[in-house]
Amino acid sequence: MQPALIYASERRDTFVEELKEFLRIPSISTDEEYFEDVRRGADWLVDQLTRIGVDAAERCETGGHPIVLAEHRAGDELPTVLIYGHYDVQPPDPLELWTTPPFEPRVRDGKLYARGSCDDKGQLFMHVKAVESYLASGLPLPVNVKFLIEGEEESGSAHLRPFLERNASELDADVVLVSDTSMLGEGIPSITYGLRGIAYAEVQLKGPSRDLHSGVYGGAVENPVNVLARLIGNLHDEKHRVTIPGFYDRVRDLTDDERVAMRALPFDTRAWLNAVGAGGGRTESGYSVLEATWARPSLDVNGIWGGYQGPGAKTVLPSSAGAKISMRLVPDQRPDETASQLKQYFEANTPETTALTFRILHGGHPVLVDPGIPAMQAASDALEAVFGRTPAFIREGGTIPVVTDFKQILGLDTVLMGFGLNSDAIHSPNEHFGLDRFHQGIASSIRFLDAFGKRA
């Protein structure tokens, strides 16, 4: 493995330049205007994987954005690692808050700024470079490697599940490796063993058939914005608990051991909140910030709109209002059931004077992986060697629905070995990725493949 580590070390600058090339492609999967750019992102990856010497790499059509599939065989007796990542990115708006444009990558203070630099192009690319490091330095790969890289992660992964179902045998492996999560803090290598799920919906309320003069009609005609505000406002009680009937029924409580372990983690709640200007924070009564984001469900309005949003005063009684609402779920909540509960809440409480449209946009199951399995231990060994300290086993508040799919469809556990930091501003303006972590990630991937080849 040493020659691979040396190769990677000597190629640091080249790797960064190549990543920049990848980041220049605005592969925004949720916006149809970027349809062709998303395809370009897939083509770029196929070309890249072919160039580093992977046996086979192809762009697979899905009915939506393409999936990139690649495979490199090292030996039938060796275990197989399926590396998953995504080459699509979030929309970059609000554009005016970016110091440099989101698709013109720039290094400042050792950090690479661009949309996707951390989530997930940068982290995905580490594994591509790890495999290259073996192949280019003439070493046999210590495991068989498959790549599964999708282009719809930021817009709901609608075509991934059917793709897994259709290609289950081709995707046969021993474990899935994913780098799309964060570290607990700077310099603290972390393995994520739990993820929250999600249920995401869009609500529209329609009132009068057109925008009305608020003087002539105000006080006699129901205002759909007022109604929507009330319905949303009532979704939490004064303890910041979600009021939807049945919402907490399946929530698995934290064990006492887990609470103790969480409290022992080096986590500075105040610094974490201050970093995002969130003052004192606001959690469900009785739960710490870590407990609340890792092991308790939440409900957030992701967007709301209605009526006049321009400058000055327009005296309009709006004809409609809408909101995007998502809930983060913990074991053993079920996204479909929770979305239904939200729908029932709106149906039961929307007055007859407004017409409700409720659409479920997407869902993902919560996940818990046993930290004792060989692949988790291989990841632990790799990270410890690179960072010089035992990694923290953590959970994360976010959702990677594909992890559930891997378990359900392929029967595979997933190792979440992430190198992000909360300060990386993923999904926000000025997303960035520390180049030190990019290179540590490549070394960790090289070491993981080696360690898993021996342990499995």
Helix (H) or strand (E) holding 362: strand 355-364
Q: Is 302 in the site for a second copy (CB under 8 A)?
A: yes
Distance in angstroms (rounded) separating the CA atoms of residues 271 and 288: 14
**Footprint of a second copy on 109-148 (CB under 8 A):** none
Work out how close the CB of 412 gets to a second copy at its nearest, in angstroms, rounded to a whole number: 22
Task: Answer yes or no: are the C-beta atoms of 412 and 173 closer than 8 Å.
Answer: yes
Nearer to a second copy, 174 or 222 (CB): 222
**Footprint of a second copy on 267-296 (CB under 8 A):** 273, 276-284, 289, 292-293, 296
**Footprint of a second copy on 370-429 (CB under 8 A):** 396-399, 422, 425-429
Work out how close the CB of 360 gets to a second copy at its nearest, in angstroms, rounded to a whole number: 10
Q: Is 209 in the site for a second copy (CB under 8 A)?
A: yes
Per DSSP bridges, beta strands 144-150 and 355-364 are: unpaired
Nearer to a second copy, 161 or 324 (CB): 324
Distance in angstroms (rounded) separating the CA atoms of residues 243 and 452: 45
SS3 of 16-61: the string is HHHHHHHHCCCCECCCHHHHHHHHHHHHHHHHHHHHCCCCEEEEEC
Give me the amino acid identity at 290.
L
Nearer to a second copy, 34 or 452 (CB): 34
Nearer to a second copy, 378 or 421 (CB): 421
Nearer to a second copy, 319 or 380 (CB): 319
Using CB under 8 A as the binding criterion, the count of chain residues that bind a second copy stands at 98
Nearer to a second copy, 80 or 283 (CB): 283
Q: Is 214 in the site for a second copy (CB under 8 A)?
A: yes
Return the residue of 58, 222, 337, 384 that touches a second copy, per CB under 8 A.
222
Task: Answer yes or no: are the C-beta atoms of 443 and 179 closer than 8 Å.
Answer: no
CA atoms within 13 A on the CB side of 138: 1
Q: Is 251 helix (H, G, I), strand (E, B) or coil?
A: coil
**Footprint of a second copy on 90-109 (CB under 8 A):** 90-91, 93, 97
Q: Is 298 in the site for a second copy (CB under 8 A)?
A: yes
Work out how close the CB of 200 gets to a second copy at its nearest, in angstroms, rounded to a whole number: 5
Give me the amino acid identity at 133.
S
Rounded to 10 degrees, what is the CA torsion of 414, 417, 420, 421? Answer: 110
Work out how close the CB of 374 gets to a second copy at its nearest, in angstroms, rounded to a whole number: 28
Catalytic residues: 88, 153
**Footprint of a second copy on 308-367 (CB under 8 A):** 308-318, 321, 323-324, 326, 328, 351-353, 361-362
Return the residue of 60, 136, 229, 261 that touches a second copy, per CB under 8 A.
229
Q: Is 220 in the site for a second copy (CB under 8 A)?
A: yes
Q: Is 7 helix (H, G, I), strand (E, B) or coil?
A: helix
Q: Is 226 in the site for a second copy (CB under 8 A)?
A: yes
Q: Among all chains, which residue has been given the structure tokens 């060697």? A: 385
Task: Answer yes or no: are the C-beta atoms of 180 and 416 closer than 8 Å.
Answer: yes
Of 300, 303, 302, 345, give the one whose Cα is nearest residue 327.
Answer: 300
